[in-house]
């Protein structure tokens, strides 16, 4: 009996299961479902951003903004199983080792975190906590959507996987380029609402984030031969940092 064709419902469940702690049953999936799930990443990011924005803005009313920002970052880590932070540490350790491709990939698979990874985690947490302390709710939502847009862009057709197994191999090259373009334009359009009274700041933040993502993606593909699940997590956190910094500029 042939396998049941996957649907958008399968893709939604896969996206939520991949990018959040929500344990949904997905069943047997194919590359088509993977591509759709990666295309939905910005929407899941906006959903997460909404939860974080509500928590942070509420906490600002009862405690210091900085503590609210720190707790917002902690909540984001909990809701995503900390996988993007883990991917950031592993990828930075691998790239920072200056070893050959195979050795760098082995370092990324190691459960140990090296000095480069630790420094990257500290920087990511500090930048995001300080930004969450001051950003309006709409900007937080846009920042999270933009950070997950990095996954959509990194999974466009033509971008290979660095190794044959794992999440990277399953989703690499699964998103058609037009879909990534439409997703980018949609996030850019929504970002007009990010900062009240400054319509251009949101789109500039999205553009800056995507530029950094594309530059990092190009370097990673040249250095490692393609993407992995860790690389996707690294790109998410890098995009988030660029977005929140850009949104806080006066």
pLDDT digits (tens, 9 = 90+) for 133-178: 999 999 999 999 999 999 999 999 999 999 998 889 999 999 999 9
- Give the pLDDT band of residue 24 (cuts 50, 70, 90): confident
Domain boundary assignment for the chain = 8-14+29-248
- Give the pLDDT band of residue 215 (cuts 50, 70, 90): very high
* Residues 6 or more apart in contact with residue 236 via CB below 8 angstroms: 84, 87, 147, 148, 150, 151
| Percent of the chain clearing pLDDT 90 (strictly above) | 83
Higher pLDDT, 244 or 32: 244
Residue 166: per-residue pLDDT: 87
Residue 26: per-residue pLDDT: 66
| Alpha-helix runs per DSSP H in 191-228 | 201-224
What rounded mean pLDDT belongs to the chain? 93
Write down the residue that tokens 């909540």 correspond to. 75
Residue 1 has pLDDT above 90, yes or no: no
Residue 28: per-residue pLDDT: 66
Helix (H) or strand (E) holding 148: helix 137-154
How far, in Å, are 105, 161, 182 from residue 224 at the CA level? 7, 9, 28
Kindly report the three-state secondary structure assignment for every residue of 72-111. HHHHHHHHCCCHHHHHHHHHHHHHHCCCCHHHHHHHHHCC
pLDDT digits (tens, 9 = 90+) for 83-137: 999 999 999 999 998 889 999 999 999 889 999 999 999 999 999 999 999 999 9
Residue 88: per-residue pLDDT: 97
Residue 2: per-residue pLDDT: 42
């Amino acid at each position: 009996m042939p396998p049941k064709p996957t649907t958008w419902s399968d893709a939604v469940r896969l996206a939520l299961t991949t990018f959040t702690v929500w344990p949904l049953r997905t069943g047997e999936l194919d590359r088509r479902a993977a591509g759709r799930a990666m295309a939905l990443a910005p929407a899941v990011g906006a959903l997460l951003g909404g939860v974080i924005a509500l928590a942070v803005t509420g906490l600002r009313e009862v405690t210091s903004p900085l503590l609210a920002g720190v707790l917002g970052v902690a909540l984001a880590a909990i809701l995503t199983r900390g996988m993007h932070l883990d991917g950031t540490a592993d990828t930075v350790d691998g790239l920072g080792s200056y070893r050959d491709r195979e050795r760098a990939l082995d370092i990324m698979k190691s459960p140990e975190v090296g000095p480069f990874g630790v420094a990257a985690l500290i920087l990511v947490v500090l930048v995001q906590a300080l930004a969450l302390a001051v950003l309006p709710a709409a900007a937080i939502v846009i920042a999270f959507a933009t950070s997950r847009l990095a996954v959509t862009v990194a999974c466009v057709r033509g971008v290979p996987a660095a190794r044959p197994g794992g999440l990277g191999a399953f989703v690499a090259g699964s998103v058609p380029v037009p879909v990534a373009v439409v997703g980018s334009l949609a996030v850019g359009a929504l970002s007009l609402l990010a900062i009240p009274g400054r319509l251009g700041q949101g789109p500039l933040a999205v553009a800056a984030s995507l530029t950094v993502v594309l530059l990092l993606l190009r370097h990673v593909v040249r250095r490692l031969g393609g993407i992995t699940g860790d690389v996707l997590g690294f790109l998410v956190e890098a995009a988030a940092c660029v977005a929140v910094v850009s949104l806080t500029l006066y």
